[in-house]
């Protein structure tokens, strides 16, 4: 900890820096205002994606994730990240290797080839988890950081699958009908709206988007119908892959099904950035597939 700032090794993942750089910029800048300093995890690789690598070769999945963890161990810092898929891979591998001596020894045999060793000396956190945790930040501190409240907007929350499940290994309390993300949304001055099948998958997870895009979009389309029914002005999530599915997926749904929604989709850090006074340009909102202008006009 430097001064009053809590320092974490920041794992970026793949999609945020490559497709939604505003998520990366917002995470770093908004966290600094909350007493959290995000430092680059230099040399990091893919998490690797649980639905791809994990389903094909578990040994590769363990070894690649463990390498990322070791980089943070060398920094003597816990890891934090902004993607649910990355959270699943890195949190679970860290957790499993800490409790399975035989598996840890096997992974370390692989890591020894690049002069690395997993020691199990750090923890892994989703950034949204740190925001809600009163010991680190808390809802009130988030609320106090707001300079441009999102008053008059109706925002729906998408938790995503890998953040809360499998239930027995997570520590988020009620994983069937959670409401803590809604508290963080309302801390920004917005109204958080509930909708049917809130906890349903976005449609992209488990490699479904890559294997069967039409089926994947059918799931997304159902979610968008439910969001339309409650009059949501925007959807927010904590996973760039979910963001890609809802944002880019709306373009694909219009192409395949002929249905147009035009629902802005923003990662929570982008919403927080707006509420803390960042401009749409700083957040690279122009790179979103769905125009965010209607939402932005509501908060001007």
| Full residue range of the structural domain in which residue 274 is found | 146-298
Q: Is the pLDDT of residue 1 over 60?
A: no
Closest alpha carbon to 27 in 15, 18, 37, 19: 37
Q: Is the pLDDT of residue 13 over 90?
A: yes
Into how many domains does the chain fold? 2
Q: What is the pLDDT of residue 120?
A: 98
What CA dihedral angle connects 227, 228, 229 and 231, to 10 degrees? 90
Joined tokens for residue 61? 């999945």
Look at residue 1 and tell me if it is in a domain. Answer: no
List, in sequence order, every residue forming a beta bridge with 158; answer none if it has no partner.
237
CATH of the domain at 215: 3.40.50.11810
Closest alpha carbon to 19 in 272, 278, 241: 241
Q: What is the pLDDT of residue 122?
A: 98
Domain match, 83 and 201 both: no
CB of 85 within 8 A of CB of 50? Answer: yes
- Please give the angle made by the CA atoms of 185, 193 and 16, to the nearest 5 degrees: 50
Domain match, 281 and 156 both: yes
Domain match, 287 and 155 both: yes
Domain match, 102 and 168 both: no
Domain match, 235 and 150 both: yes
Q: What is the pLDDT of residue 174?
A: 82
- pLDDT confidence bin for 250, thresholds 50/70/90: very high
CATH of the domain at 72: 1.20.1050.140
Look at residue 140 and tell me if it is in a domain. Answer: no
Domain match, 105 and 17 both: yes
Q: What is the pLDDT of residue 51?
A: 66
Look at residue 133 and tell me if it is in a domain. Answer: no
- pLDDT confidence bin for 141, thresholds 50/70/90: very high
pLDDT (tens digit per residue) in 30-63: 999 999 999 999 999 999 877 666 566 688 899 9
Q: How far apart are CA 8 and CA 29, in angstroms?
A: 14
Q: Is the pLDDT of residue 10 over 90?
A: yes
**Would the pTM count as exceeding 0.85?**
yes
Q: Is the pLDDT of residue 2 over 70?
A: no
Domain match, 117 and 13 both: yes
Q: How far apart are CA 150 and CA 140, in angstroms?
A: 16
Phi (first) and psi of residue 14, to 5 degrees:
-100, -50
Domain match, 178 and 86 both: no
Closest alpha carbon to 51 in 97, 89, 91, 94: 89
What is Dmax (Cα atoms) for the chain? 57
- pLDDT confidence bin for 93, thresholds 50/70/90: very high
First to last CA, the chain: 37
Look at residue 203 and tell me if it is in a domain. Answer: yes
Look at residue 242 and tell me if it is in a domain. Answer: yes
Residues 287-300: what's their mean pLDDT?
95
pLDDT (tens digit per residue) in 145-181: 999 999 999 999 999 998 988 777 777 778 888 999 9
Closest alpha carbon to 265 in 231, 242, 236: 236
Domain match, 107 and 169 both: no
- What three-state secondary structure class fits 141? helix
Q: Which of 72, 100, 127 is the last residue of a domain?
A: 127
List, in sequence order, every residue forming a beta bridge with 244; answer none if it has no partner.
none
- What three-state secondary structure class fits 117? coil
- Please give the angle made by the CA atoms of 242, 151 and 139, to the nearest 5 degrees: 65
Share the mean pLDDT of the chain: 94
Joined tokens for residue 106? 């096997």
């Amino acid at each position: 900890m430097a001064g009053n700032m809590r320092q974490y090794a920041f794992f970026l993942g793949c999609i945020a820096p490559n497709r939604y750089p505003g998520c990366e910029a917002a995470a770093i800048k908004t966290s600094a205002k909350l007493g959290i300093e995000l430092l680059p995890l230099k040399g990091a690789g893919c998490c690797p994606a649980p639905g791809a690598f994990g389903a094909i070769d578990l040994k590769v999945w363990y070894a690649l994730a463990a390498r990322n963890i070791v980089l943070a161990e060398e920094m003597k810092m816990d890891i934090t990240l902004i993607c649910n898929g990355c959270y699943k891979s890195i949190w679970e591998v860290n957790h499993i290797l800490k409790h399975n001596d035989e598996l840890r020894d096997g992974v370390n045999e692989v890591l020894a080839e690049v002069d690395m060793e997993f020691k199990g000396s750090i923890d892994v956190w989703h950034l949204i988890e740190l925001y809600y945790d009163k010991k680190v930040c808390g809802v009130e501190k988030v609320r106090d950081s707001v300079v441009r409240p999102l008053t008059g907007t109706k925002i729906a929350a998408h938790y995503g699958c890998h953040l809360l499940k499998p239930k027995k290994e997570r520590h988020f309390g009620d994983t069937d009908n959670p409401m803590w993300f809604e508290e963080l949304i309302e801390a920004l001055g917005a109204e958080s709206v509930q909708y049917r099948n809130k906890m349903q998958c976005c449609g992209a997870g488990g490699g479904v988007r890559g294997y069967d895009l039409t089926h994947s979009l059918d799931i997304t389309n159902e979610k968008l119908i439910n969001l339309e029914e409650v009059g949501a002005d925007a959807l927010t999530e904590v996973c760039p892959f979910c963001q890609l599915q809802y944002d880019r997926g709306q373009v694909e749904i219009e192409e395949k099904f002929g249905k147009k929604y035009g629902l802005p989709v923003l990662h929570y850090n982008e919403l927080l950035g707006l509420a803390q006074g960042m401009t749409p340009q700083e957040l690279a909102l122009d790179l979103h597939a769905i125009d965010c202008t209607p939402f932005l006009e509501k908060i001007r």
